[in-house]
């Protein structure tokens, strides 16, 4: 997203996890609000935080690109990141983008990211996560009657993935808005 952001001056890019951290700090859900700490909160608490975050995003007046996950996984528990009742409040939703990579690439990137704790990086866990995400996005695409775009972000090919991402965003919003 950062690579293409300068090309989309009429849009605000919001990272959903960062909005959730903001909500956690404002409402005192966690002493130290981090992505990893949020993942281990009880699912009911995560649901409240997610609802508050979607409300904050929905209140924005700008055109938005929201960077989020279809699911958040913690030790086999998959919590929806895009629940239908929350996604339905977003006005003018015009596409879903899925950025994916192969398992070896995901493991390599996780190993380099020293700020996050990554568990469940074996093929079975990664494939289960990928299948849950794809199923959720396919359902939402059909339910909302909007396109689903899938981008493969291979190691060493960031420029190509960014080009495809830009092309899909322009398609979803139309050339005149980008």
**Domain positions in the chain:** 5-173
Q: Give me the mean pLDDT over the 24-33 stretch.
A: 87
Q: What CATH fold (topology level) applies to the domain 5-173?
A: Rossmann fold (3.40.50)
Residue 147 pLDDT more than 90? Answer: yes
Separation between Cα atoms, residue 97 and residue 104, nearest integer Å: 21
For residue 18, report the phi and psi dihedrals to the nearest 5 degrees: -70, -35
- Indicate the average pLDDT of the chain: 85
pLDDT grade, residue 118 (50/70/90)? low
pLDDT at 152 over 80: yes
pLDDT above 70: residue 119:
no
CB-neighbour burial class of residue 99 (10 A; exposed 0-12, middle 13-18, buried 19+): middle
Q: What percent of the chain has pLDDT over 70?
A: 95
């Amino acid at each position: 997203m950062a690579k293409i952001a300068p090309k989309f001056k009429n849009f605000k890019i919001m990272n959903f996890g960062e909005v959730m951290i903001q909500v956690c700090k404002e409402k005192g859900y966690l002493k130290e609000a981090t992505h990893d700490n949020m993942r281990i909160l009880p699912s009911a608490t995560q649901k409240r935080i997610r609802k508050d975050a979607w409300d904050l995003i929905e209140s924005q007046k700008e055109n938005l690109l929201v960077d989020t996950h279809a699911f958040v996984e913690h030790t086999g528990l998959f919590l929806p990141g895009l629940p239908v009742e929350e996604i339905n409040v977003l006005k003018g939703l015009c596409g879903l983008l899925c950025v994916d990579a192969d398992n070896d690439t995901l493991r390599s990137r996780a190993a380099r990211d020293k700020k996050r704790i990554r568990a469940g990086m074996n093929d079975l866990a990664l494939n289960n996560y990928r299948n849950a995400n794809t199923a959720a996005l396919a359902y939402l695409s059909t339910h909302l009657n909007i396109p689903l775009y899938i981008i493969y972000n291979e190691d060493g090919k960031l420029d190509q993935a960014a080009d495809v991402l830009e092309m899909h965003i322009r398609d979803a919003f139309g050339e005149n808005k980008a």
